[in-house]
Amino acid sequence: MTKGDETRQAILHRGVEAAYRVGLTGLTIGELASATGMSKSGLYAHFRSKESLQLAVLGQARAEFVDTVVAPALRTPRGEPRMRVLFEGWLACDLRQDPGGCLFVKAATELAAQEGPVRDQLVRDHRDLYDAVAQVFRTCVAEGGFRDDVEPEQFASDLYGVMLGANHAHAFMDDPRAEGRARRAFEALLDAARSPAPVPVP
């Protein structure tokens, strides 16, 4: 790995760190430069525009999320265990960030009314995660114990809402009960999607 790639990696590391605090739009070349001990133009030479820097930082953050959340889930047996690992990893990733909350959520609200390549990429990323949740839910149904008349996309959407709520309560409202609430909501979602227990005979 050449020297350039090395510093580029260091920049991205700090960049993700900063983006979790100030968002993708809030990233500034100058602040990132001083955070890495470089000059503004020296850093800028690595990416030839701010947009390209944002895309690179977003890519790095996505890679880290996949490594620490999605991949461990895919290494867990299909069905409910995998769903639980996915949820716990996701929740931990959201709640760990302090302060600032999830980078992807922040970027999504920032870029909601502003089109461009960064927004397009971010939409793809969100859709990927959305699809992944739905897919894991399908393995739950396939492995048994879950109703097959529940739309996987509806479940994914509901889980997304739980995570957004947890992120909001934790990062913004500073509510320590956010974690417990999210976990209870998740259990309720699972319960509602489970096959009804055989009616106990009195």
Q: Which does 23 bind (CB under 5 to 8 A by kind): DNA, its own copies, none?
A: its own copies
Residue closer to DNA (CB basis): 45 or 92: 45
d(CA 200, CA 123): 46
Question: Residue from 51, 67, 131, 174 that binds DNA (CB under 7 A)?
Answer: 51
Question: Which range binds DNA by CB under 7 A, 21-29, 131-139, 163-171, 193-201?
Answer: 21-29
In the region spanning residues 8 to 27, those forming contacts with its own copies, defined by CB under 8 A, are: 21-23
In the region spanning residues 29 to 48, those forming contacts with DNA, defined by CB under 7 A, are: 29-31, 37-46, 48
d(CA 55, CA 23): 13
Structure tokens at 186: 């998740």
d(CA 176, CA 167): 11
Number of residues that bind DNA (CB under 7 A): 24
* CA quadruple 70, 75, 79, 80: dihedral, nearest 10: -70
Q: Quick check: 194 binds its own copies (CB under 8 A)?
A: no
> Under the rule (CB under 7 A), what is the footprint of DNA?
2-5, 7, 27-31, 37-46, 48-51
> Under the rule (CB under 8 A), what is the footprint of its own copies?
21-23, 99-101, 105-106, 108-113, 123, 126-127, 153-154, 157-158, 160-166, 168-169, 171-174, 177, 181, 184-185, 188, 192
